[in-house]
Amino acid sequence: MASDLSGLGPWRLVMKQNRKNATTANQPRYSKEEFARRGDAIYERDLRGLLEPQHNGKFVVIDIETGAYEVDADELAASDRLLARLPNAQPWLRRVGYRHAHRFGLLTSARKT
């Protein structure tokens, strides 16, 4: 992207200010496998007994480095709260009472022949 904003008229200052204030995205410090291992271990060891069954179906976002967490029916709200408290968190998302946060693919039923 070119850094020359001169052709944007009054929007030039707004874009320049937004670019200056933009925060760097938090970069993962672990492999996907390590994220899963740590996140699931914290959930099983520390959180399952606290959260199930009263929060079943809600999302839990866990910082895999500190064990800090947030729970909400809205995954973005839980994530935003955790990142507001811990800006450098390494968040792992899981749905309380389920093995994974989301399901991909179709649910199929057994066919009778």
**In-domain check, residue 5:** no
Q: How many domains does the chain have?
A: 1
For the stretch 13-35, pLDDT in tens is: 444 444 444 445 578 899 999 98
**In-domain check, residue 71:** yes
Does position 40 have pLDDT exceeding 60, yes or no? yes
Q: Which domain holds residue 90?
A: 30-103
* Close Cβ partners of 10 (under 8 Å, ≥ 6 residues apart): none
Q: Mean pLDDT of all residues in the chain?
A: 79
**In-domain check, residue 1:** no
Does position 106 have pLDDT exceeding 60, yes or no? yes
**In-domain check, residue 36:** yes
pLDDT for res 27: 82
pTM, two decimals, is 0.69
Burial tier of 14 (Cβ tally within 10 Å: 0-12, 13-18, 19+): exposed
pLDDT for res 105: 66
